[in-house]
Amino acid sequence: MPDLDDELMKQCQQGDIEAFDLIVRRNQVPLVNFIARFLGNPDAAEDLAQETFVRMFKVIKRYKSGAAKFSTWMYHIASNLCKNELRNRGRRGRFFVDNVITEPSLGPESTKEDLIATAPADVSLQPGNQLERKEREHAVQSAISELPERYRLPLILRDLQELSYEEISETLILPLGTTKSRINRARLMLKDKLRSFVESS
Amino acid sequence: MNCLKAEEQFSAYLEDELDYQAVKAFEAHLSPCESCRREFALFRESLDLLHQLPQIELSTEFDIALQVRLADAQVEPIPFWQRVLRPLHGQTRLALSGIAVLLVMVAGTYLYQRALVKPKSVEITVAPETSRRVPFAEGRRVQWRRQQFPLAVPSREPQSLVNFPESSAFDLQPVRRSQQPQRLEQNYILQTINYTEAPTGGGL
């Protein structure tokens, strides 16, 4: 099955700017999610995702169709930008859980009454569930952010971006065996970090 | 299989990547090992939590900001020389270009000449041994070079003179210092560079 992004990239290399616009629309959400989960900061993620698209646009002539999947190429550029970002900050990515939940009416200091007042009809979005969900997300994101960079990247690519082991191996330029063992190690580390949360809940 | 080996295969077992023998060995270890069973359950649960993370939505400004940045990226940077010459008018620009070309040609010719004019042959003349100073020859380039030759050995004055009896058949007189042959500590070589054979190279 031909990769649509790959086809669009070919058109873009022939001067079709609108094809690149389509590529952006198809990939912007996964890319922002990937960067946000890696950095633990959704605000910085949008900026870096834009930077990734700009970088891709500038080096579009260097893209070799068929050499690797488009997603591999995109995540490779994004990974390098993320690593540079962390290096420039000189500190590990911090997570701002209040920015991740996108309900605008709920601030960081929202009380249970506020949540009840804005509660939707859907049972899954009841205040109790929302608080629980927020707490759970905070715990998981904190656990991800605490992982070393070399384990965090493959874990996110595998379990959140759902790339295959081969694609991750190409993206991070690692042997396939190393990629697999690193992902298993990352999951074991995540399990240890979430132990208290899982056992308490 | 021990617990450590079983832990290494958690992902492969979950993702159905183990062969039949490996699956049997894994299950044979887990079924009596309570610790591994507990860890494996926790492993699955933490992965479920990870997969349940909600998707982060984009802000409304994302598209606009990206379009602006992409538009900036499409503008090719103007080379330095174009930025300098652009504000000038046609004739001024032409004159400046002509001057620049002329300057490059003059500099190139000068450097070419300088590279060609090199001494071809060197005539060496040994200076008189007794004289330390040799007047410079007029109109010639003279070069002095200090040399440590074996003939330039300084002599010491004898500590004591041998007194022979007057009746000696040898009529020896103590050698006075002033009578000793004058020796130089060093010699000088006069190098005269003969320009007559140097090529002119033509041109200027």
Query: Does A50 fall in a domain?
Result: yes
- Provide the pLDDT for residue B1: 79
Query: Going by C-beta distance under 8 Å and a sequence separation of 6 or more, which residues neighbour residue A59?
Result: none
Alpha carbon dihedral A177, A179, A181, A185, in 10-degree steps, equals 170
Indicate the burial class of A53 (C-beta count within 10 angstroms; 0-12, 13-18, 19 or more).
buried
Q: In this structure, is residue A60 part of a structural domain?
A: yes
Within a domain: residue A108? no
Choose among A133, A145, A143, A157: nearest CA to A188: A143
Coil, helix or strand for B73? helix
Is B69 within 8 Å of A187 when comparing Cβ atoms? Answer: no
Chain B hits for A140, Cβ within 8 Å? 49-50, 52-53
Task: Give the closest of A33, A58, A159 to B55, CB-based.
Answer: A33
Helix H or strand E encompassing B123: strand B122-126
Closest CA to B193 of B120, B134, B138: B120
Q: If contacts are CB pairs under 8 Å, which of residues 152-171 in chain A contact chain B? A: 155, 159-160
CA distances from B97 to A130, B21, B111 (A): 72, 81, 21
Q: What is the ipTM of this complex?
A: 0.79
pLDDT score for B122 = 57
| Domain assignment present for A101 | no
Using an 8 Å CB-CB cutoff, list chain A residues near B59. 46
**Between residues B133 and A80, the one the model is more confident about:** A80
Residue B80 has pLDDT above 60, yes or no: yes
Number of domains in chain A: 1
B65 touches chain A (CB under 8 A): yes
pLDDT tens for A162-171 read 999 999 999 9
Q: What pLDDT is stored for residue A107 in this prediction?
A: 44
Instruction: Considering only the beta carbons, identify the residue of A54, A181, A190 that sits closest to B50.
Output: A190
Residue A192 is predicted with a pLDDT of: 94
Ranking A122-136, B5-19, B99-113, B140-154 by mean pLDDT, the lowest is B140-154
Under 8 Å between Cβ of A95 and A141: yes
Query: What pLDDT is recorded for position B105?
Result: 95
Q: Does B13 touch chain A (CB under 8 A)?
A: no
Question: By the 8 A CB rule, do A147 and A103 touch?
Answer: no
Classify residue A166: in a domain, yes or no: no
Closest approach of chain B CAs to the CA of A27, in angstroms? 12
Q: What pLDDT score does B156 carry?
A: 55
Q: What integer pLDDT is reported at residue B8 of this predicted model?
A: 92
State the first-to-last Cα distance of chain A, in angstroms, to the nearest integer: 44
CA distance B172 to B19: 117
Which has the higher per-residue pLDDT, A19 or B44?
Answer: B44
Instruction: Name the percent of chain A lying above pLDDT 70.
Output: 80
CB contact under 8 A, B62 and A133: no
Residue A8 belongs to a domain: yes
Domain with residue A2: its CATH number is 1.10.1740.10
Across A53-67, A154-168, B180-194, least confident range: B180-194
Q: Average pLDDT, stretch B121-140?
A: 54
pLDDT score recorded for residue B26: 93
Q: What is the DSSP letter of A61?
A: G
Give the domain range for residue A44.
Answer: 1-93
Contact B59 A46 (CB under 8 A): yes
Helix (H) or strand (E) holding B188, with range, is strand B187-193
Q: Does B42 lie at the interface with A, CB-CB under 8 angstroms?
A: yes
Angle between helices B34-51 and A127-146 (to 10 degrees): 110
